[in-house]
Every structure is written in C-alpha cells, then in structure tokens.
C-alpha cells in the first residue's frame, strides 16, 4: 500500500478513468476538479510533449494553491499524429474526422504528468508516450463508434479500455498511459518522493 493518506494526495482531475487507475493501484487520495480553461491553451507553434506537460502543470497548480500542504497530481492526455496535436472532439463530425485520421496510420498517445506541492515548492513535470498501431476500421465500424457516443470526452475520440480489441492491433509502451495516467511512471516518481522526503 502506498504511504499516503487521503488528505495528503490529491488528483487534480475529474476523469473517472484516472480515479479508477489510482484506486486500483492502492492509493488513497481525493479527486478535485481543476478550474482551468483548456481551450485557452493554444497548441500553435508548440511541440505535443510541451503542450501536454503545460496543461498537466496548470491543472496541478490550480489545485496546489488551494491545498498547499498536499501533494497534487495533474495529468493531461493528447494524441500526436505526425506532430499534429489532437485532443477531445467537440462534436460528432469532429470525432469522425479524428477517427478517420488516427486509424489510418500509427500515432502516439502522450500524457503530461505533473506533481507539485505549494508548501515547499515541489514541482516535477514529465510525460510518457505510447505508440498505438491501429486496425483499419470500416465505414460501418466508424459509423457505429460515432453513434455510440463513446468518443465523448476522450482524447483522440476513442478509449482503448473500452474498444481496444476492436480498434488496436498493438501498442508500444504503457497501456495505462493510453488510458490517461501512466501508472508505471507515476508510481516511480511517488516512490522516489517518499524515499527522498
């Protein structure tokens, strides 16, 4: 069991998938939704990794100011298609365009990860990247996926934990990273923090 109590660790996220991953790993934590406008972060002229890391840090910092004694985890997941940053679709038509693009060739899923604590100025920012090799989807499969609305609130308009066998041939890297929280990386960072504090 990780050496944290619920008041000591806060996940700056409203994502049920991230909460499930942390709970499944045995962490005790509180989840607080960060109050930031993601649309105000421009992706123009910035590398995908920098974009994901900057959003993760902004989420963590927005909560750290309110809970200065707690260790805050912020995360943001995007898809990198040949340098093009792809986030969550705004509507069904955009979701269709994203799926048609991503499932024609391999793409990367990048999760920016930030850990900070306001009290003592701790600020760690990093990321994980997983390459996804998709299966070719038929028009009928794409139509069915769009109708299902399972693309809503998903970076890249799909969720590997819900449709992995249908959509994905194989991945190189962390599966939990594709799900929204690179648990191997997070656990390593938290272990280092415990041992060095």
- What is the mean pLDDT of each successive set of 10 residues along the chain, which is 197 residues long? 58 94 95 84 84 96 94 95 88 90 90 95 95 88 88 78 70 93 95 68
Say if 132 falls within a structural domain. Answer: yes
Domain with 189, as residue range(s), is 9-196
Residue 26 falls inside a structural domain: yes
Sequence-separated (6 or more) residues with CB below 8 Å from residue 175: 130, 160
Residue 32: inside a domain:
yes
Query: What per-residue confidence (pLDDT) applies to 162?
Result: 55
Q: What is the pLDDT of residue 62?
A: 94
Give helix 139-148 / helix 92-102 axis angle, nearest 10°. Answer: 140
**Residue environment code for 15-45, b if the CB has 16+ CB neighbours within 10 A, otherwise e:** bebbbebbeebebebebbebebeeeeeeeee
Question: At residue 180, what are phi and psi to the nearest 5 degrees?
Answer: 120, -5
* Residue tagged active-site, from 76, 80, 153, 191: 76
193: exposed, middle or buried (Cβ count in 10 Å: 0-12, 13-18, 19+)? middle
- Its pTM stands at 0.86
pLDDT at 6 (0 to 100): 41
Q: Is residue 72, in this structure, part of any structural domain at all?
A: yes
Asked about 143 being catalytic, the answer comes back as no
Q: Which of 15, 56, 48, 6 is nearest to 33 (CA)?
A: 15
Please report, for the domain that includes residue 111, its CATH number.
Answer: 3.90.950.10
Residue 3 within any structural domain of the chain: no
4 in any annotated domain: no
Say if 1 falls within a structural domain: no
Split into its structural domains, the chain has a count of 1
Please identify which residue in the block is written with the tokens 């100011």. Answer: 65
| 126 within domain boundaries | yes
């Amino acid at each position: 069991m990780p050496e944290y109590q619920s008041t000591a660790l806060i996940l700056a996220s409203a994502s049920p998938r991230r909460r499930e991953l942390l709970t499944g790993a045995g962490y005790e934590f509180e989840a607080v939704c960060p109050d930031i406008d993601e649309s105000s972060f421009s992706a123009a002229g910035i590398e995908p990794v920098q974009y994901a890391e900057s959003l993760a840090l902004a989420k963590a910092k927005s909560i750290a100011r309110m809970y200065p004694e707690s260790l805050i985890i912020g995360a943001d997941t995007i898809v990198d298609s040949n340098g093009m940053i792809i986030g969550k679709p705004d509507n069904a038509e955009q979701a269709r365009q994203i799926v048609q693009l991503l499932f024609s060739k391999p793409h990367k899923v990048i999760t920016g990860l930030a850990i900070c604590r306001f009290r003592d100025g701790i600020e760690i920012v990093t990321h994980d990247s997983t390459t996804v090799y998709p299966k070719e989807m038929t028009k009928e499969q794409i139509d069915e996926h769009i109708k299902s609305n399972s693309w809503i609130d998903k970076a890249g308009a799909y969720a590997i934990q819900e449709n992995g066998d249908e959509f994905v041939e194989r991945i190189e890297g962390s599966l939990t990273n594709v799900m929204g929280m690179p648990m191997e990386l997070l656990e390593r960072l938290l272990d280092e923090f415990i041992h060095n504090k």
